[in-house]
Amino acid sequence: MNLESLIALLLVVLIGWYLSFSASRLDRLHHRVETSWATLDSLLQKRAALAQEIVVKSNLDPATAYLISTSATAARDANLVERSSAESILSESLKLVQNAALDNALELPSELLVELSDLTSKVKLAINIHLEAVHATRNVRSKLIIRLFRLAGKAPLPVRYKFEDDAL
Amino acid sequence: MKKIRIGMVCPYGWDTPGGVQTHMKDLAEYLISEGHYVSVLAPVSDDSIRVEDYVVNAGKPISIPVNGSVARVLFGPLASSRAKQWIAAGDFDLLHLHEPAIPSLSLLACSAAEGPIVGTFHVSTPKKKAIYAIGPILEPIVEKLTARIAVSELARSTLKAHFDTDAVVIPNGIDGQKYANAKVNPEYSGPNSIGFMGRFEEPRKGLQVLIDSLAIVARFIPNVKYLIAGPGDSEEFLKQLNPQLQSRIEFLGRLSDQEKESFLKSVDVYVAPNTGGESFGIILTEALSAGTAVVASDIPAFKAVLENGEVGALFKNQDSADLAKVIVGLLRDDERRKKLANNGKLSAQKYDWQVIAEQIESVYEMAIAGGQRVTLSSENRFWSRR
């Protein structure tokens, strides 16, 4: 075997290895986006349910209660496109509850309040984790070799939600 | 939180003193006391030393210079296969890798594993320092981290600059009670004792700045005493001083943990004159929780811990005249010194392990929420690719 064909063979093997490496890297990322979204989604659902419960069990004024109740319902019913803005509105209105609690103007079972602040910090973490997974996946998918060989297959491009960080 | 099996990886020699090691030891012991199972994989320099039961020895580290100090790291085929064995045998729910972007054991573990992985970044360095300049090679490895923790805003911005990825900031934890309840040792306590602690031979620790301030301070407060703790050769520093000043300075050598606690509690003022390269400044929080007034250089990491001078005094970095002014001011005004120390003690409560570990546990909880477990990554499992 002459040198040229040896080099060519080596090159083919190398490219083959790199393709397989990239494919498993991308597969792992897709998987991660799915799980991180599932986690975030379930936390957000929980939060919406908690918001409804707070409305029922507290002495919030009717206007605030109405606002929280409608935004919780909106967040639950939102489709993929509206989801992030609906959740942000819910975050904003839940802040009213926390502020009212700080002013001692609120009668609310304390375990609900603890659960709310616990859930809020968890949602923050889950958003951070999810956004990172989305970011990394989109980053890898934009690479030339991945697009050239269609390594992403039919997996949908993960959506970049605009969760307003400071609103949470 | 439910009890889980946690595998932690330390990049530096376990038996060498250092911030990362201390942090990991405290965290591991806290988590064990909470009922979790913890195994720590770490390089160990000295085989004859007995390490804690939860530590798995990964081999002898080698020394390379990093960031102004010498890091004892471990890599190579043998270390890599040890990491793989440890991961395969550990049956972990979660891996917690410390400093996974430093070429050492954590990086090897990260490349060998997949599943829920949390990484903690301790260092903050300017972009393009040799050790961090290998971004493109590290990218596919670092992106495996499910969640990232940075110990300070500085470490977080380093991470952003190097890998374009964000992290949750959770500072290093300390056992505040230990320092608050330490015994006052008359050898270290006043009148007018100034404390310094660290590997003082390293220029970035800034001992020279402190020593240069002595001439001025001694003029205003003749009975001032500088107490220098830490391993190193004191000759270099002493011979540049005149004999009269020499008597005002004392080198204590390396202190045991207990001595350290009472040292921080006993001195009137603790000084951290570090000139840079610090990411967090754990020693400051320890001195603060001992209830001692702290003076530190105004480098970003220290400014953050001292809340811009609210809970400790700052001086202009590398300016020994300014340092002298601040020290004299504090020693002469007992009222202000006590107030500062008190503010500091309150502020240090947020670094208490109880608080910090809870935050770390919620990161764990989020990372494992997907229900996966840690396995060897598919590249390492020839028998089953999926």
What does the pLDDT look like over B314-367, one tens digit per residue? 999 999 999 999 999 999 999 999 999 999 999 998 888 888 998 999 999 999
Arithmetic mean of pLDDT, B81-110? 91
A101 φ, ψ (degrees, to nearest 5): -65, -35
Residues spanned by the domain of A154: 3-167
* Domain positions in chain B: 5-173+352-380, 176-349
The mean pLDDT value of chain B amounts to 87
Write down the H helix ranges in A58-166: 62-77, 83-102, 110-141, 144-148
Lowest mean pLDDT among A149-158, B291-300, B339-348, B362-371: A149-158
Task: With beta carbons under 8 A apart, name residues in chain A contacting B385.
Answer: 24
- Give this complex's ipTM: 0.76
d(CA B184, CA B284) in angstroms, rounded, equals: 18
Contact A24 B370 (CB under 8 A): no
The residue in chain B having the minimum alpha-carbon distance to the alpha carbon of residue A21 is B379
Which tokens in the block code for residue B217?
A: 């301070």
The shortest C-alpha distance from A57 to chain B (Å) reads 27
Contact A35 B370 (CB under 8 A): yes
State which amino acid sits at residue B292: T
Which tokens in the block code for residue B276?
A: 């840079």
d(CA B47, CA B60) in angstroms, rounded, equals: 8
Q: Which of B167, B366, B377 sits opposite A39 (nearest CB)?
A: B366
Task: With beta carbons under 8 A apart, name residues in chain B contacting A140.
Answer: 143
Q: Which residues pair with B375 in a beta bridge?
A: B114
Cis peptide before B191 (omega within 30 of 0): yes
Which tokens in the block code for residue B324?
A: 């002298």
Q: CB-based contacts of B83: which residues, under 8 Å, 6+ apart?
A: B9, B41, B58, B105, B108, B109, B112
Indicate if the pLDDT at residue B133 is higher than 60.
no
CATH 3.40.50.2000 fits B5-173+352-380, yes or no: yes
Q: Per-residue pLDDT tens for B28-78?
A: 999 999 999 999 999 998 888 888 899 999 888 888 876 666 778 888 888
What pLDDT, on the 0 to 100 scale, is given for residue B289? Answer: 92
Q: Residues B142, B163: contact at Cβ < 8 Å?
A: yes
Indicate if the pLDDT at residue B386 is higher than 70.
no
The shortest C-alpha distance from A116 to chain B (Å) reads 15
Number of domains chain A contains: 1
Q: Residues B43, B80: contact at Cβ < 8 Å?
A: no
Q: Per-residue pLDDT tens for A50-94?
A: 999 988 888 888 888 888 899 999 988 888 778 888 888 888 888
d(CA B190, CA B188) in angstroms, rounded, equals: 7
Contact B166 A128 (CB under 8 A): yes
State which amino acid sits at residue A153: G
Task: With beta carbons under 8 A apart, name residues in chain A contacting B167.
Answer: 128
What pLDDT, on the 0 to 100 scale, is given for residue B385? Answer: 44
State which amino acid sits at residue A72: A
CA dihedral B208, B211, B217, B223 (to 10 degrees): 160
What SS3 class is residue A12?
Answer: helix
Interface of chain B against chain A, CB under 8 Å?
114, 140, 143-144, 146-148, 164-168, 362-363, 365-367, 369-372, 377-379, 385
Task: With beta carbons under 8 A apart, name residues in chain A contacting B140.
Answer: 21, 25
Indicate if the pLDDT at residue B383 is higher than 60.
no
Task: With beta carbons under 8 A apart, name residues in chain A contacting B362.
Answer: 121-122, 125
Arithmetic mean of pLDDT, B138-166? 84
Could you tell me which of B46, B4, B36, B21 has the C-alpha nearest to residue B105?
B21
d(CA B124, CA B275) in angstroms, rounded, equals: 14
Indicate if the pLDDT at residue B384 is higher than 60.
no
Indicate if the pLDDT at residue B382 is higher than 60.
no
Task: With beta carbons under 8 A apart, name residues in chain A contacting B115.
Answer: none
Contact B146 A125 (CB under 8 A): no
What pLDDT, on the 0 to 100 scale, is given for residue B37? Answer: 96
d(CA B50, CA B47) in angstroms, rounded, equals: 8
Lowest mean pLDDT among A161-165, B5-9, B11-15: A161-165
Q: Per-residue pLDDT tens for B221-245?
A: 989 999 999 888 888 888 888 888 8
Percentage above 70 pLDDT, chain B: 94
The mean pLDDT value of chain A amounts to 84
Q: Residues B256, B179: contact at Cβ < 8 Å?
A: no
Q: Per-residue pLDDT tens for A3-45?
A: 889 999 999 999 988 888 888 888 888 988 988 889 989 999 9
Q: Residues B60, B44: contact at Cβ < 8 Å?
A: yes
What pLDDT, on the 0 to 100 scale, is given for residue A167? Answer: 40
Contact B370 A121 (CB under 8 A): no
What SS3 class is residue B379?
Answer: helix
**Sign of the CA dihedral with B325 first, then B327, B331, and B334 last:** positive
What pLDDT, on the 0 to 100 scale, is given for residue A166? Answer: 43
What pLDDT, on the 0 to 100 scale, is given for residue B135? Answer: 62
Contact B362 A122 (CB under 8 A): yes
Arithmetic mean of pLDDT, B272-290? 88
State the CB neighbour count (10 A cutoff) for residue B269.
24
Contact A125 B362 (CB under 8 A): yes
What SS3 class is residue B96?
Answer: strand
What SS3 class is residue B129?
Answer: coil
Give one DSSP letter per residue of B251-320, joined into a string: EEEPPPHHHHHHHHHHSSEEEE---S--SS-HHHHHHHHTT-EEEEE--HHHHHHTGGGTSSEEE-TT-H
State the CB neighbour count (10 A cutoff) for residue B56.
21
Residue B129 region by backbone torsions, left for phi larger than 0, else alpha for psi between -120 and 50, else beta = beta
Residues in chain B: 386
Cis peptide before B136 (omega within 30 of 0): no
Contact A131 B363 (CB under 8 A): no
Picking from A25, A31, A137, A145 by the largest number of B CB atoms within 10 A of its own CB, the best residue to mutate is: A25
CA atoms within 13 A on the CB side of B343: 17
State the CB neighbour count (10 A cutoff) for residue B132.
21
Picking from A40, A117, A125, A138 by the largest number of B CB atoms within 10 A of its own CB, the best residue to mutate is: A125
Q: Which residues pair with B56 in a beta bridge?
A: B41
Arithmetic mean of pLDDT, B77-86? 91
d(CA B284, CA B297) in angstroms, rounded, equals: 11
Looking at residue A167, the DSSP 8-state letter turns out to be G
Task: With beta carbons under 8 A apart, name residues in chain B contacting A128.
Answer: 147, 166-168
Q: Which fold has domain B176-349?
A: Rossmann fold (3.40.50)
Picking from B111, B366, B377, B378 by the largest number of A CB atoms within 10 A of its own CB, the best residue to mutate is: B366
Write down the H helix ranges in B70-226: 77-90, 105-112, 135-142, 153-163, 176-180, 207-220
Contact A35 B371 (CB under 8 A): yes
pTM: 0.79
Q: Residues B286, B349: contact at Cβ < 8 Å?
A: no
Contact A121 B385 (CB under 8 A): no
Task: With beta carbons under 8 A apart, name residues in chain A contacting B379.
Answer: 21, 24
Do the first three CATH levels of B5-173+352-380 and B176-349 match, i.e. the same topology? yes
State the CB neighbour count (10 A cutoff) for residue B186.
7
**Sign of the CA dihedral with B23 first, then B127, B161, and B137 last:** negative
Pairing mode, if any, of strands B37-42 and B5-9?
Answer: parallel
Task: With beta carbons under 8 A apart, name residues in chain A contacting B144.
Answer: 28
d(CA B150, CA B171) in angstroms, rounded, equals: 7
More confident residue, B209 or A81: B209
Task: With beta carbons under 8 A apart, name residues in chain A contacting B114.
Answer: 28
